[in-house]
Amino acid sequence: MEVTFLGTGTSMGIPMIGCRCDTCTSSDPRNNRLRTSVWIQKKKKNIIVDTGIDFRQQALRYAIPTLDAVLFTHHHVDHIFGLDELRPIHFLQNKTVKVFGTSETREHLLRVYPYVFEAGNCPSDVPKIEYHTFSNEPFIFIDIKIIPIPLFHGNLPIMGFRLDNFAYCTDVSRIPRSSYSLLENLDVLVLGALRDSPHPTHFTLSEAVDEAQKIAARRTYFVHMSHELSHQEMLNRLPAQMEPAFDGLKITL
Ligand SMILES: [Zn+2]
Ligand SMILES: [Zn+2]
Ligand SMILES: [Zn+2]
């Protein structure tokens, strides 16, 4: 399994429009962060977690050849506003992308993208998706087992995902007790860490480090960082088995 980080930034992206802070004006490319998403290649299938605002740019930059499935963590704009960019998969490849999300995410997608769920549209106009609703139970995509990990993003229940010994948990501010057993014995944990000052719907970096220590994956990568956290500064502060992810980072499991 290969995982490529397509984006590692918070909802506004880094640099942030109009900001002149050290991170936003940094010449270190690792401080340039598109909206958080990962591309998983497994058993010759291409799966992405979330279609964020930057999906088109990410697909071109990292040469994503096609898509077989999308896993949605939740319905926030920075995680769903690239769904329309799946149109070329339909238009050029006449392919249906399987989309997996909760019933709540489906409701919000229906509201934002009603035309995607209507039949009979011209292939150039709509992405062709097949929506599959999951709840807390593991599900199978072809022959790939995907374990949803219930999480809280403020009061909003959202999902993380586990595939083999890889788990992806972005936009989280609380891990329910029952989810820790789903995060045992991980080779890689990807965990959201927004900034240093407290936030109602995201872990701070120190909260994320505490959680990562509790979960004790062999390696933890942080994502969804704001401009308050620069890459090098995070590297300097983090324990040896933890590091910030950056756009384009590729890991093989
Ligand atoms: Zn987000
Ligand atoms: Zn800034
Ligand atoms: Zn969110």
69-103 pLDDT per residue, tens = 999 999 999 999 999 999 999 999 999 999 999 99
Is the distance from CB of 86 to CB of 48 less than 8 angstroms? no
State residue 121's pLDDT score.
Answer: 77
Is the distance from CB of 189 to CB of 181 less than 8 angstroms? no
Quick: pLDDT tens for 192-250. 999 999 999 999 999 999 999 999 999 999 999 999 999 999 999 999 999 999 999 99
Give residue 10 CA to ligand 2 midpoint distance, Å: 12
* Domain limits, the chain: 2-252
Percent of the residues in the chain that have a pLDDT greater than 90, as a whole number: 97
pTM of the predicted model as reported, rounded to 2 decimal places: 0.97
Give residue 22 CA to ligand 2 midpoint distance, Å: 7
Quick one: which ligand is closest to 12's CA?
1
CATH number belonging to domain 2-252: 3.60.15.10
Mean pLDDT in residue range 167-188: 98
Neighbours of ion ligand 2 (CB under 5 A): 16, 19, 21, 24, 227
Give residue 121 CA to ligand 1 midpoint distance, Å: 30
Quick one: which ligand is closest to 200's CA?
3
Buried b (16+ CB within 10 A) or exposed e, 63-97: ebeebbbbbbbbbbebbbbbbbbbbbbbbeeeeeb
Average pLDDT of the chain is 97
Give residue 213 CA to ligand 2 midpoint distance, Å: 29
Is the distance from CB of 169 to CB of 203 less than 8 angstroms? no
149, containing H or E segment: strand 144-153
